């Protein structure tokens, strides 16, 4: 459906059929938060929601970009004049990918691109990575670059870091590029190795709900940098290069060596969350999917009490879901708003959703958006 609309939109805009149509998903992180820059573990899965792009090559150095979801004309740029952090609005994401590919020595001679996305924006579900990865994959295939998925993810990250100017890790782009249906992706943020971990919820009679709180508190603006600095301080005081190097078995001894209460809390979160990722992997490999529920809820408590990046809406989503019979729940992403994930028996999904929506109404919060996160395929050609 999307594919037909995007193909037709391309033809209307540019007067010819596109050479192909590609899709790349948004993602949600199951477990492992603020662990990426500590060279630890994360475990995202791809959503069924995708950015879909119809693309053709050009040989005249012109890049034309259009989004069906944004009011406004086609953005026209020259590939040899692309400048990092220039004010190109949404177009900076696909333009940044062209820039990153060219910086890496790939001869991209231009392109026409028209896209549409079903990934909610600004909900912590990585609509930006979906945009970058769909552009990167389309250009890789059209120009025959032969890049691997992890290479495409790193180029997309470079586009976001250095061209758009957002200091994100590589998880979002890796999830969008590398996830597979029915799996979560174990990403080791030290060596960037990946492994597909079975996470076939439907086969187990389970669902993972995403609760998009639809809020983003301004408090979060400086918090990422502050937590990051605190973690680096913790690593320095413990004499390790990154908190990844503190073994869970040595956590208590490590905490006893830290004098600063705030740093101690951050260290406890990071080291215990890395451990929770390993615990979840062990359980999923054993097929014991239900047992990950309490691990998710423990992870939420750690983010709320130790890292202190939750907010009333996220705490309510988790507590209301668990009170209504969910197997476990946690906030996901950067915090201070965005989304939570909730593991439920499929038969309880409607009841838990209703309970969360009612709790939000009672608290006077904006109505949340709740939908199932079916572990879906990563980026692919669809037409
Ligand atoms: P998130 O990645 O968590 O959704 P970001 O702030 O990183 O939030 O990225 C959102 C930005 O990505 C939007 O402000 C917009 O510039 C761009 N974007 C996302 N989806 C689209 C779309 N369908 N069309 C155009 N731009 C989009
Ligand atoms: Mg983003």
pLDDT of residue 155: 98
Catalytic residue among 172, 274, 298, 348, which? Answer: 172
pLDDT digits (tens, 9 = 90+) for 220-230: 778 989 999 99
Angle between helix 171-178 and helix 149-158 axes, rounded to 10 deg: 140
Protein residue closest via CA to atom 9 of ligand 1: 128
pLDDT digits (tens, 9 = 90+) for 201-217: 999 999 999 999 999 88
CA–CA dist 234, 202 (Å, integer): 41
Is residue 378 domain-resident?
no
Q: Give me the mean pLDDT over the 184-209 stretch.
A: 97
Is residue 260 domain-resident?
yes
Q: Give the distance (Å) from ligand 1 centre to CA of residue 24.
A: 13
User: Which of the listed residues 131, 132, 160, 331 should we mutate to test ligand 1's pocket, taking the one with most ligand atoms within 8 A of CB?
Assistant: 131
**Residues 228, 188: one domain?**
no
pLDDT of residue 88: 85
**Residues 209, 297: one domain?**
yes
CA–CA dist 320, 329 (Å, integer): 10
Residue 138 has pLDDT above 90, yes or no: yes
Q: Please, what sign has the CA dihedral across residues 196, 280, 41, 137?
A: positive
Q: Give me the mean pLDDT over the 340-346 stretch.
A: 98
Residue 4 Cβ inside 6 Å of ligand 1? The answer reads no
Residue 127 Cβ inside 6 Å of ligand 1? The answer reads yes
172 is a catalytic site residue: yes
Residue 156 Cβ inside 6 Å of ligand 1? The answer reads no
Alpha helices in 181-222 (DSSP H): none
Whole-angstrom CA distances from 7 to 2, 22, 65, 288 are 8, 10, 14, 42
Q: Give the distance (Å) from ligand 2 centre to CA of residue 327.
A: 28
Residue count of the chain: 383
Residue 1 has pLDDT above 70, yes or no: no
pLDDT of residue 31: 98
pLDDT of residue 221: 78
> How many domains does the structure of the chain reveal?
2
Q: Give me the mean pLDDT over the 172-190 stretch.
A: 97
**Residues 190, 305: one domain?**
no
**Residues 176, 244: one domain?**
no
| CATH code of the domain in which 222 resides | 3.30.70.890
Residue 122 Cβ inside 6 Å of ligand 1? The answer reads yes
Last residue of a domain, one of 176, 196, 216: 196
Residue 90 Cβ inside 6 Å of ligand 1? The answer reads yes
Burial of 209 (0-12, 13-18, 19+ CB in 10 A): buried
Q: Which domain holds residue 32?
A: 2-196
Q: Give me the mean pLDDT over the 267-290 stretch.
A: 98
**Residues 98, 155: one domain?**
yes
Is residue 311 domain-resident?
yes
Please tell me the pTM assigned to this model.
0.95
**Residues 106, 13: one domain?**
yes
Is residue 62 domain-resident?
yes
Is residue 379 domain-resident?
no
Whole-angstrom CA distances from 80 to 96, 254, 261 are 12, 51, 51
Is residue 34 domain-resident?
yes
**Residues 185, 209: one domain?**
no
Q: Are 14 and 114 in contact (CB under 8 A)?
A: yes
> Checking DSSP bridges between strand 380-381 and strand 20-29, what pairing results, if any?
antiparallel
Segment among 121-130, 182-191, 248-257, 289-298 with least mean pLDDT: 121-130
Last residue of a domain, one of 172, 196, 220: 196
Is residue 341 domain-resident?
yes
Last residue of a domain, one of 139, 167, 196: 196
Ligand nearest to the CA of 75: 1
pLDDT > 70: what percent of the chain?
Answer: 99
**Residues 232, 347: one domain?**
yes
Residue 131 Cβ inside 6 Å of ligand 1? The answer reads yes
Residue 3 has pLDDT above 70, yes or no: no
User: Which of the listed residues 52, 68, 121 should we mutate to test ligand 1's pocket, taking the one with most ligand atoms within 8 A of CB?
Assistant: 121
**Residues 127, 222: one domain?**
no
**Residues 240, 297: one domain?**
yes
pLDDT digits (tens, 9 = 90+) for 45-67: 999 999 999 999 999 999 999 99
Place of tokens 């758009």: 164
Is residue 48 domain-resident?
yes
Ligand nearest to the CA of 122: 1
CA 32 to chain centre: 12
* Ligand 1 atom closest to the CA of 126, numbered from 1: 2
CA–CA dist 69, 148 (Å, integer): 29
Q: Give the distance (Å) from ligand 1 centre to CA of residue 369.
A: 18
**Residues 47, 187: one domain?**
yes
Q: DSSP 3-state assignment of 92?
A: helix
pLDDT band at 41 (very low <50, low <70, confident <90, very high): very high
**Residues 205, 165: one domain?**
no
Q: What average pLDDT is seen over the chain?
A: 96
| CATH code of the domain in which 188 resides | 3.30.230.10
Residue 163 Cβ inside 6 Å of ligand 1? The answer reads no
Residue 196 Cβ inside 6 Å of ligand 1? The answer reads no
User: Which of the listed residues 69, 70, 127, 339 should we mutate to test ligand 1's pocket, taking the one with most ligand atoms within 8 A of CB?
Assistant: 127
pLDDT of residue 167: 84
Q: Give me the mean pLDDT over the 11-36 stretch.
A: 97
Q: Give the distance (Å) from ligand 2 centre to CA of residue 202.
A: 28
């Amino acid at each position: 459906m999307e594919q037909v609309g995007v193909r037709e939109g391309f033809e209307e805009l540019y007067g010819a059929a596109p050479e192909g149509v590609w899709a790349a998903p948004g993602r949600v992180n199951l477990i492992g938060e603020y662990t990426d820059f500590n060279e630890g573990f994360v475990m995202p899965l791809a959503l069924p929601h995708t950015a879909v792009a119809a693309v053709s090559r050009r040989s005249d150095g012109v890049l034309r970009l259009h989004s069906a979801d944004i009011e406004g004309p086609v953005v026209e740029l020259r590939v040899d004049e692309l400048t990092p952090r220039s004010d190109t609005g949404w177009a900076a994401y696909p333009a940044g990918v062209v820039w990153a590919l060219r910086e890496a020595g790939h001869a991209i001679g231009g392109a026409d691109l028209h896209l549409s996305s079903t990934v909610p924006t600004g909900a912590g579900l990585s609509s930006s990575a979906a945009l970058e990865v769909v552009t990167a994959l389309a250009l890789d295939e059209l120009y025959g670059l032969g890049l691997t998925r992890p290479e495409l993810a790193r180029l997309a990250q470079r586009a976001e870091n250095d061209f758009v100017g957002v200091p994100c890790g590589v998880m979002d782009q890796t999830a969008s590029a590398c996830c597979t249906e029915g799996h979560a992706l174990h990403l080791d943020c030290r060596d960037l190795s990946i492994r597909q971990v079975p996470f076939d919820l439907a086969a187990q009679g389970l669902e993972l709900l995403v609760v998009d709180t639809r809020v983003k508190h301004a408090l979060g603006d400086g918090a990422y940098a502050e937590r990051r600095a605190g973690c680096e301080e913790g690593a320095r005081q413990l004499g390790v290069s990154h908190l990844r190097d503190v073994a869970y078995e040595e956590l208590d001894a490590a905490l006893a060596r830290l004098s600063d209460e705030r740093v101690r809390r951050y260290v406890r979160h990071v080291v215990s969350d890395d451990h929770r990722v390993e615990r979840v992997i062990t359980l999923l490999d054993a097929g014991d999917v239900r047992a990950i529920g309490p691990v998710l809820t423990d992870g939420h408590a750690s983010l709320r009490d130790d890292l202190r990046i939750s907010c009333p809406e996220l705490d309510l989503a988790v507590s209301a879901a668990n009170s209504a019979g969910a197997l476990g729940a946690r906030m996901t992403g950067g915090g201070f708003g965005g989304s939570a994930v909730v593991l439920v028996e499929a038969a309880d999904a409607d009841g838990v959703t209703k309970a969360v929506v009612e709790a939000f109404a009672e608290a006077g919060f904006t109505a949340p958006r709740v939908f199932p996160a079916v572990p879906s395929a990563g980026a692919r050609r669809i037409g």
